[in-house]
Amino acid sequence: MLKRTNDKIRIGVSIGDYNGIGLEVIIKTFMDNQITDLCTPIVYGSSKLANNYRKTMDVGDFSFNKIANADEAHPKKANMVSCWSEEVELSMGLSTANAGKYAFLSLEAACKDLFDGKIDAIVTAPINKDNIQSDQFKFPGHTEYLTEKFEGESLMLLTNENLKVGIATNHIPVSAIAKSLTVDKIFSKLKILNKSLVQDFAINSPRIAVLGLNPHAGDNGLIGKEEQEIIIPAINSAKSIGLQVFGPYPADGFFGSANYLKFDAILAMYHDQGLIPFKTLSFGEGVNFTAGLNIIRTSPDHGVAYDIAGKNIANEQSFRSAVYLAIDVFRNRQMDTEINENVLKVSKGK
């Protein structure tokens, strides 16, 4: 997928639920001309809708450069590919079937261009996981949808400057977590996480901490056997192939004592075990990155935020960080590819 080397990086953006704060944080981010010095933004949605949303924000004469397809994108402007022509009514703060329908059309169009190499990465604004459901989208979230569409095994990875938390299981009921954990699954997630830290974040010899599933990491089997029977064997398998993996650690003490600062990343066993401490420590500044796939996707660490939609008070920092991370990961992957190609050339020469 890394085809473009000389042109400016093209960042595709899906608008998410237009009744939430997605368009607001998109507009606020791309009003900053410094962004277009680093990348060419291409938003997939509707220029009519964006203009109507912009009017609710009172942001002056900002507007997107309207284009028919990504090939027409102006390198120094925020571009908008209109994915539909009909008028769409804004219902700020409300969940509507139409908002889910058009959120999917935006995502689908961006993914097609990502697959075709017309854009280099995608940043997804928040969707409502309920109203987007349809015959075309039967997934609990972006991560699962993208995993089916593209190559690789995915890992949900929440990241900021000082903290990276991967999740062994994604959007599943709490009652299903223990049954879904296996030695092979955790071992696989550890390999994905390690590779992403090296390839996507340019971290050499990363140190990874693994959290236990049960309170006190099971207390040597007193409070559950998963640590002894599943998690520790997976850690040992990772160590056997040279990965620096440690644990399992009790989740409460691990974050409470700031032990997390000693590691490059953490693998949590389930969604809230990892996301609650992550969002407590960095909400509004973190980024959701889908590691393990052959494409680059990032997203802000918040949801649709209906309660503040249309009030022009949404903070765009997380979305802005998601754009920056997509750029950084693209560059790091290019660098990693070049390094490995040079190693192969030297090996063949010898």
Q: Is there a single domain that holds both residue 185 and residue 245?
A: yes
| Same structural domain, 66 and 195 | no
Residue 299 lies in a domain: no
Residue 25, pLDDT > 90, answer yes
CA distance 36 to 51: 20
**pLDDT surpassing 70 at residue 348:** no
Pair (138, 196) in one structural domain: no
* H helix intervals, 205-258: 226, 232-240, 251-256
Tell me the pLDDT tens digit for each residue of 260-285: 899 999 999 999 999 999 999 887 78
What pLDDT is stored for residue 222 in this prediction? 85
Domain of 214?
152-293
Each residue of 136-162: pLDDT tens digit? 999 999 999 999 999 999 999 999 988
Q: Which of 5-14, 86-95, 212-221 has the highest mean pLDDT?
A: 86-95
243 and 159 both lie in a single domain: yes
Q: Can you read off the two tokens belonging to residue 265?
A: 């990343």
Assess whether 88 and 160 both reside in one domain: no
Check whether 344 has a pLDDT greater than 90.
no
The per-residue pLDDT for range 79-111, each reduced to its tens digit, is 999 999 999 999 999 999 999 999 999 999 999
Q: In the structure encoding, which two tokens stand for residue 7, read together?
A: 């042109």
> CATH number of the domain that 4 lies in?
3.40.718.10
**Of 106, 125, 150, which marks where a domain is finished?**
150
* Statement to judge: residues 285 and 195 lie in one domain: yes
**pLDDT band for position 350 (cuts 50, 70, 90):** low
SS3 string, 73-121, reads CCCCCCEEEECCCCCCCCCCCCCCHHHHHHHHHHHHHHHHHHHCCCCCE
What is the largest distance, in Å, between two alpha-carbon atoms of the chain? 66
Whether residues 107 and 169 fall in one domain = no
> Among 241, 259, 293, where does a domain finish?
293
- The residue-averaged pLDDT of 230-250 equals 97
Residue of 54, 52, 82, 77 lying closest to 67 (CA atoms): 82
Q: Which of 10, 6, 54 is nearest to 31 (CA)?
A: 54
Residues 164, 287, single domain; the answer is yes
Residue 322 has pLDDT above 60, yes or no: yes
Are residues 142 and 170 both part of a single domain? no
Nearest to 157 by CA among 172, 140, 137, 143: 143
Residue at a domain's end among 130, 150, 170: 150
Residues 183 and 92 in one domain: no
pTM of structure: 0.92
On whether residue 111 sits in a domain, the answer given is: yes
**Count: domains in the chain:** 2
Do 159 and 119 have their domain in common?
Answer: no
| CB-count exposure of residue 75 (10 Å: 0-12, 13-18, 19+) | exposed
Rounded Cα distance, 38 and 33, in Å: 9
- Whole-angstrom distance, CA of residue 201 vs CA of residue 118: 24
Question: Do 112 and 7 reside in the same domain of the chain?
Answer: yes
Percent of the chain with pLDDT over 90: 81
Q: Say how far apart CA 226 and CA 217 lie, in whole Å.
A: 9
Q: Looking at the predicted structure, is the pLDDT value of residue 221 above 90?
A: no
Q: How would residue 4 be classed by pLDDT, with cut points 50, 70 and 90? A: very low
Q: pLDDT for 67-76, tens place per residue?
A: 999 999 999 9
Whether pLDDT at 2 is above 90: no
For the chain, the C-alpha Rg in angstroms (whole number) is: 21
Query: Quick check: is 76 in a domain?
Result: yes
> Which residue, 214, 203, 218, 208, is CA-closest to 165?
208
